[in-house]
Structure 1
Amino acid sequence: MDVAREAGVSIATASRALNGGTRKVRKDSYAKVAEAARRLDYRPNAFAQAVAKGTSSNIALLVSDISDPYFAGVSQGVVKAASERGVDVSIGVASDGAEELERIRGFIASRPRGIVISESENVNDNLRQELEQELKRYADAGGRVVFILDRDMPFPAVDVGNEEGGYAIGRLLADAGYRRPVILKGNDGYRSSGQRYRGVVKALSESGVDIDPRAVANGGFRRETGFAVVSQMIRDRLLLPGEGALYDGSGADCIVALNDVMAIGAMTALRTAGLEPGRQIGVTGFGDIPYAVDVYPALTTVHLPLQGMGAAAVENILLGDDEYRGLGHRLIFLHAKPDVILRDSLPRR
């Protein structure tokens, strides 16, 4: 640092004097740094000062899709909890690993007090290691990182029982008399999709349900792909009883979507084909987004405390230094065994 060299002090001393760190600087050293800064016309970085003092006025939040009700619910929780504590929130959107890394680098450059990352992680992302390194450097400089859903990185994460929720849905299906499910997964690399899928399959298997391999499809965690997949199954004569249909010609009796917007897209596809969701084919979702109860028929789903997840992330960003450091890679569970909300889309058979 030029100021440190000009003043004849260490870089650490110059940084504390200029940026207001918590450790004290001797008066003579402070005077040397101030004079050197005046001669060099140095202007301190306000963000660096804020981080050094632990009083930065904002939190950065990264989500996959702000228009998705799941991420909108989490975002509302973050913004509300931060506002109650007098902290502003900057929101960024990233749809893949490359965009995520770019947005994180942009956040870090602005030196927020902390970064909350709420993304649908692809475990096959080849930029994962690079992202982890960027976040470690940020944390080493005093920043805070909290993930919403576990990414298996050395930072705390607010998590929920995705596999347990999937298991609960599978048990509900079997107990309600369903034996021929179509399962709409997220992208194969999505950690949360894999967890939910394992839970559903385990519960169905324990109940003696063998899943037709053709009945498992990638719905992409999007409404439009849920619609497209089910529409294609109907056109291919897989869904309804008949020659070539799923389950040796018996067709499917329910659609298990591993998030709510896919389920809603699937219900629209059924209605478009003249089929009545809930009466001819049962439908379930996952997440309990706000309008899951408002669609017709109301959607059976697994409740996730979306706003609570966002609020918990903020609470952990704003912990004291020792408390935050003590978290390490700790999973902060909300609803380790999520509740299933039974509604009209899945009547007992």
Structure 2
Amino acid sequence: MRKKISLMLIIIISLVIFSGCSSKNNAVSNKKVKILFTVSDASDAYRKLLVDGAKSYAESKGIDLDVKDAAGVIETQVAQVKEAVSGGYDVIICAPVDPTTALEIERVAKGIPIVFMNSEPDGKLLEKNKYVYVSSNEEVAGQYEAEYILNYLNNKKDIKVVLLKGEKGHRATKGRTDAVKQTFADKGINAEYVFEDNADWSREKAKEMIKVFLTTGKKFDCIIANNDNMALGAMDALRESNINPSTVPILGVDATIDACKAIKDGSIKLSVYQSAKGQSISAVEAAVRLGTGNNLSGIENLTSDGKYIWIPFEKVDKTNVDKYMN
């Protein structure tokens, strides 16, 4: 009889302990998470898409997300991260003004998990289930651009390239530019870069650069830009110089609405779509998990080391552009 009673007590105690642990785990996973999204510069067209996508998704899921614009000022962004600590935020989404400040941002955050996006920190500063990066793999975009030119020019061995780059030091600038050059080299193409400069993602700056370049009379086979704004600026420059842009392959990245319209009328030949919406949704989903004490295991597009969530790029040309204009 005593053995039976003892056995029953053990079972009851085990059930109570298990029930308590389950309740605790549920409390963590169902916790109302508070997210701060500090964005480097919300006036930038693509970064605005990231913000809009994050806000829209958060609202649809009843997630508490506050957005702060650093307006391109590092000190402002650092102050915003400090506000996240004092304001009781559980997790931070950060599009860095300068990715080299990531270590400072992590230290100022005092242990709050951070989901970086748009501008990639050094991989050594990322940490599984604590500091992660959400974006698209920039090398793929540059590879797609170079491959398009190879096909367009029928694998011509000697080509003259105009290359418009984004901001100096930006991960996307380096990744896309290096991939363009490496793809040409890997295919045995002798690519001469007759003009190469940083137009800082700006349509106006790219336009002015190309207008000056055109006055040199140098020949060129294509214009490859790190983003659509600069591709559109090149298009504007050709038009204002009485050159039909449809006669020159101009390529960009992002598949913005303006670029898609230009693709449809033939003024731009290719853009490479990186889903701002997809990146925003993944960033918020990752933030919710980290902010509630959960890990990222099983989240879509997570790399094996747990540090990156890569949203796939997609080629956009005249054959499929309508799909991206909605």
What range is the shorter-chain TM-score in? 0.7 to 0.9
Runs (5+) with no aligned partner, structure 1: 1-21, 24-50, 246-250, 345-349
The CA distance in 2 between the partners of 1:301 and 1:272, in whole Å, is 22
Quick check: 1:254 aligned with 2:222? yes
Q: Give the SS at the match of 1:332.
A: strand
- Matched with 1:9 is none
Identity %: 21
Deviations 1:121-153 (A, max 9, x none): 45xx4x443223113x142xxxx3211243233
Please state if 1:315 is matched with 2:262.
Answer: no
1:199-278 correspondence runs (5 A)? 199-235=179-215, 237=216, 240=217, 245=218, 251-278=219-246
Alignment partner, residue 107 of structure 1:
84
Matched residues in 1 for 2:287 and 2:316: separation? 31
Alpha-carbon distance, 1:288 to partner: 1.3
In structure 1, C-alpha distance between the alignment counterparts of 2:294 and 2:306, rounded to whole Å: 14
* CA 1:325–1:110: 2 relative to 1, 3 Å: farther
| CA shift for structure 1 position 263 | 1.0
The residue identity in structure 1 corresponding to 2:283 is A
8 Å CA contact 1:80, 1:311 repeated in 2: no
Distance 1:298 1:62, change over 3 A: farther
- Distance, in Å, in 2 between the alignment partners of 1:272 and 1:318 is 49
Residue 287 of structure 1 is matched in structure 2 by 254
Look up the equivalent residue of 1:225 and give its one-letter code: K
| 1:102 maps to amino acid | A
**What amino acid is the match of 1:132?**
E
2:162 aligned residue: 182
Structure 2 counterpart of 1:69, from 45, 55, 58: 45
Distance 1:100 1:210 in 2: 43
**CA deviation after TM superposition for structure 1 residue 54, in Å:** 4.3
Q: Is the 8 A contact 1:108 1:138 kept in 2?
A: no
C-alpha separation in 2, matches of 1:254 and 1:192: 20
The answer (yes or no) to whether the contact 1:117–1:148 under 8 Å persists in 2 is yes
Q: Which one is further off, 314-323 or 294-303?
A: 294-303
Which AA in structure 2 matches 1:130? E
Determine if the alignment matches structure 1 residue 302 to structure 2 residue 272: yes
Aligned equivalents of 1:111, 1:298: Cα separation in 2? 50
Give the alignment's TM-score, normalised by structure 2.
0.74
Residue in 2 that maps onto 1:133 = 107
In structure 2, how many angstroms separate the alpha carbons of the residues matched to 1:166 and 1:183? 11
1:172-195 Cα distance to aligned partner (Å, 9 max, x none): 101110722101111221111101
Match of 1:87 in 2: 63
State the TM-score, normalizing by the size of structure 1. Answer: 0.70
Distance 1:107 1:325, change over 3 A: farther
Give the Cα–Cα distance (whole angstroms) in 1 for the partners of residues 73 and 230 of structure 2: 19
Distance 2:276 2:267 in 1: 19
> 1:267 is matched by which residue type in structure 2?
M
Q: Name the amino acid aligned to 1:333.
A: W
SS at match of 2:43: coil
Contact 2:160 2:193 in 1 (8 A): no
- Greater shift, 265-274 or 308-317, is seen at 265-274
2:83 aligned counterpart, secondary structure = helix
Q: Tell me the distance in 2 between the aligned counterparts of 1:219 and 1:195.
A: 16
CA distance in 1, matches of 2:258, 2:86: 37
Q: Deviations over 1:291-325 (max 9, x none)?
A: 32123546411110111100111111112423259
Task: Output aligned runs, 1:115-130, within 5 Å.
Answer: 115-119=92-96, 121-122=98-99, 125=100, 127-130=101-104
String of CA shifts for 1:171-225, please: whole Å, max 9, x gaps: 1101110722101111221111101111111111233333335421111112222
The whole-number CA distance in structure 2 between the counterparts of 1:96 and 1:201 is 32
Query: What is the letter of the counterpart of residue 316 of structure 1?
Result: A
The number of residue pairs the alignment matches comes to 271
| 2:138–2:176 contact (8 Å) kept in structure 1 | yes
